[in-house]
Chains A and B, each alone.
Chain A
C-alpha cells in the first residue's frame, strides 16, 4: 500500500525564519515519483516539484529546497527566509508506476502561517 505522512499539521513562523516541512512516504514500488503542491488560500493546487526515485540529488529553487532521502523514505521541503506570501497548505504526494496511470496519493497537508 502507498501512504504519505505529513506529521506537522500546522506551523507558524515569523517572516524571514527558515521552515522545514516534513514528508515521509511508504511504497512497495521500486520506481515512484514524489511531489510537493502548494494550496494558497484561494484554493487551487500549484505544482512545486517532482522527484523520481532514482534521483536523490537535493534541489534548490530560489528560496525553496528539497531534501530527498531514500534511506529514511523522506522528502522534506525547506523554505528559506519565509515570506507572508508563503502562507498556504503544502501537500506532499506520491505516485507509483504500478498500473501505469499515476494516481497521486496525498498526505494530509501542513498549514504554514507566516506572520509579519
Chain B
C-alpha cells in the first residue's frame, strides 16, 4: 500500500541553524501539507501546496518557513533559523484530487532545537 515517507525521523539542531525536513508524498497525490504538533498538544496546520505553489498558510508559517517541491517526488519544509519553540513533531500529508479528501500522513519528523 502506498504511503507517505518522511526523513529524518529525528533531527536535533542548535538554535539559529537551518533545517530541512523531507517528505515523499504518495505518488499520484496532488495536494501536499505540513502540520506540526508540539509535544502533548494538538496537530496544527502550517501550509498547503498545490500546483507548485503555496495555496494557504497559517499564521505560524512566517518568513522563517518555506516549502519546496524540488522534483517530482520530494516535498520539503525549510526552517531558516530555528528557535527553541520550533521543537515539535512535523507531519507531512498528501491527498489526491477528487472526492477522496482524506489526507494521508507520514510518520513525522521529531525536531529538537537546543
Contacts and interface: CB of A to CB of B under 8 A. Distances in A.
A95 interface: yes
B55 A47 contact: no
Given A43-B108, A43-B110, A44-B105, 7 more contacts: A44-B107, A45-B108, A47-B105, A50-B102, A104-B33, A104-B93, A109-B42
Interface of B: 31, 33, 35, 41-45, 48, 50, 55-56, 58, 89, 91, 93, 95, 101-108, 110
A46 B91 CA distance: 12
Contact of B31 (A91, A101, A105, A107): A101
Nearest to B31: A101
B42 A104 contact: no
Interface of A: 33, 35, 37, 43-47, 50, 52, 91, 93, 95, 99-109
B101 A95 contact: yes
B48 A103 contact: yes
29 contacts: A35-B102, A43-B107, A43-B110, A44-B105, A44-B106, A44-B108, A45-B43, A45-B108, A47-B103, A50-B102, A91-B42, A91-B43, A93-B43, A99-B56, A101-B48, A101-B50, A102-B31, A102-B48, A102-B95, A103-B45, A103-B48, A103-B58, A104-B35, A104-B43, A104-B45, A104-B93, A105-B45, A106-B42, A106-B44
